[in-house]
Amino acid sequence: MIKINKVLITGITGFVGSHLADYILENFSEVQILGLARWRSPSDNIRNILDKITICFGDLLDPFSLKAIFLKHKPDVIFH
């Protein structure tokens, strides 16, 4: 079985992304969560977990920002 240490959730500030992050934190406490967000994304949905996740600012439409995030953080799984 593959060991998953880091997951990247695109759109973590949205409804689905924030609930997925909550679920992972509650059920897989050993997994580090990286959240992809645009600089202008509201953080209301993740206010309660901001201290438990790492926010990576970037844009899915910008391949350079994605490459930088992938090289720096090396996520094992990406949820989009």
Is the pTM of the predicted complex or chain greater than 0.75? yes
* pLDDT of res. 40: 83
CA distance 59 to 37: 7
Domain with 70 in it: what CATH number? 3.40.50.720
Q: Which tokens hold the place of 48?
A: 């309660």
Residues 7, 30 contacting (CB under 8 angstroms): no
CA distance 21 to 39: 19
Domain presence at residue 57: yes
Give which of 41, 1, 42, 20 is closest to 9, Cα–Cα: 20
Domain presence at residue 1: no
Domain presence at residue 74: yes
Residue 26 sits at the vertex; the CA angle it makes with 12 and 57, to the nearest 5 degrees, is 20
Q: Which domain holds residue 34?
A: 6-79
What confidence tens digit (pLDDT) does each residue in 11-31 have? 999 999 999 999 999 999 999
CA distance 33 to 2: 17
Q: How many domains does the chain have?
A: 1
Domain presence at residue 60: yes
What confidence tens digit (pLDDT) does each residue in 27-77 have? 999 999 999 998 888 899 999 999 999 999 999 999 999 999 999 999 999
